[in-house]
Amino acid sequence: MYQDENTISKAIVTPDGETDFQIRYIREENVGIVCTPTNRSYFLLDSADYWYDLIQEKYPPVMKCSCKNDRFNLMLHYTPRVGTEDFKEIRIDCLCTACGKSKRIPTVKIDYSPSAQLLTHPITPCKQPKIKYKTYSLAGYWSNDQLLGMAEYFLKKDLLVYCWYWDSQNTERHFREVSAAELRAFLAGERENYLAIYFSEKSLDSMPMHSGADGKGVVIQQDLWRKNAVVVLHGPFMVMSYGMLHHMDFCSEYLDKDGNVLLKSPSFCAMIQDFRKYSKELLAT
């Protein structure tokens, strides 16, 4: 357990002893990979959980120093969270191997536990940095009937329905399975605001839950739908002078930890294909 906030510094060295890296970094998300001169790639910190999902739209370029060199030594500085085994934040120093100048990356804030592995394993091997898989997104200013029509489709398929919502009485976020009647009430706006609704082939009861850094209840991992047989309907948001914007995400492919593109269950894949047709017709009405 850490007794104080004294920073722990660690230079990044691969198992093969390499210390020079090309860096591809997504600053807004604090996610990146590093690549050695012998072309071995590694995820930086917890990037493996987010990397593939984030690069589906745009592949980040190699970071360059103002001297044009693109190789860096990496030094990580961990600030412990007092009274825990966790870290509060990690500062990443990228030192140019040619001119020695330091290139700044935004400090990574850690709001989850456990996080001790970020110090013991600051980088993890990445066999294939660049992989694409197909995801689907539906968004629009749907009418109430259209929104309910989407939900009814999944209810008919006997999927389990989970709701992540804001409980205004206890002022915290909750996540639990809901009945068809509760789901309809959420969608009709007769209940608390939902943050997301998950239609799932399997029980999500044993899913690991994180509590948010704000102490206001459960935080659900953003990419739950990417790895699991789950369709997510995100909470709507109000767009001024247009109305409520609804948004759904799903995919029938996923990546395993070695970066292979795999298909989800045959029943889920068939349903996704059928739902795409169904939603097209529903939204055309």
Q: Which stretch binds Zn ion (CB under 5 A): 101-109, 189-197, 257-265, 271-279?
A: 101-109
| C-alpha of 127 from chain center | 20
Using the rule CB under 5 A, which residue among 8, 13, 98, 262 binds Zn ion?
Answer: 98
Alpha-carbon distance of 94 to 101, in angstroms, equals 8
Cross-sheet strand order for the sheet of 123-126: 22-26, 31-35, 41-44, 123-126
8 scored as a contact of Zn ion (CB under 5 A): no
- Residue span 65-84 as binding mask against Zn ion, x where in contact by CB under 5 A, dash where not: x-x-x---------------
What's 225's DSSP letter? Answer: H
**Minimal distance in Å, beta carbon 92 to Zn ion?**
16
If the CB atoms of residues 100 and 189 are measured against Zn ion, the closer one turns out to be 100
Q: Which stretch binds Zn ion (CB under 5 A): 44-52, 90-98, 149-157, 187-195?
A: 90-98
Q: Segment 265-284, which members bind Zn ion (CB under 5 A)?
A: none
Q: Which stretch binds Zn ion (CB under 5 A): 47-55, 98-106, 164-172, 220-228?
A: 98-106
Report in angstroms the alpha-carbon separations of 20 from 39, 82, 123, 259, 270. Answer: 11, 33, 13, 24, 46
Using the rule CB under 5 A, which residue among 8, 99, 213, 270 binds Zn ion?
Answer: 99
**Minimal distance in Å, beta carbon 240 to Zn ion?**
46
Lookup: tokens for 273: 């294909």
Alpha-carbon distance of 94 to 23, in angstroms, equals 9
**Minimal distance in Å, beta carbon 72 to Zn ion?**
9
User: Residue count at the site for Zn ion (CB under 5 A)?
Assistant: 7
If the CB atoms of residues 98 and 209 are measured against Zn ion, the closer one turns out to be 98
If the CB atoms of residues 96 and 282 are measured against Zn ion, the closer one turns out to be 96
**Minimal distance in Å, beta carbon 76 to Zn ion?**
20
What number of CA atoms fall less than 13 Å from residue 35's CA on the CB side? 14
Kindly provide the residue ranges of all beta strands, DSSP E only, lying in 201-283, ordered along the sequence: 210-211, 218-219, 230-239, 243-250, 253-255, 261-263
If the CB atoms of residues 100 and 114 are measured against Zn ion, the closer one turns out to be 100
Using the rule CB under 5 A, which residue among 96, 151, 187, 233 binds Zn ion?
Answer: 96
Rg (CA), the chain: 22
**Minimal distance in Å, beta carbon 103 to Zn ion?**
8
Exposure letters 267-283 (e unless 16+ CB within 10 A, then b)? ebeebbeebeeebeebe
Q: Segment 105-164, which members bind Zn ion (CB under 5 A)?
A: none
If the CB atoms of residues 45 and 94 are measured against Zn ion, the closer one turns out to be 94
Alpha-carbon distance of 275 to 131, in angstroms, equals 25
- Residue span 24-63 as binding mask against Zn ion, x where in contact by CB under 5 A, dash where not: ----------------------------------------
Exposure letters 79-102 (e unless 16+ CB within 10 A, then b)? bbbeeeebbbbbbbbbbbeeeeee
Residues binding Zn ion (CB under 5 A)? 65, 67, 69, 96, 98-99, 101
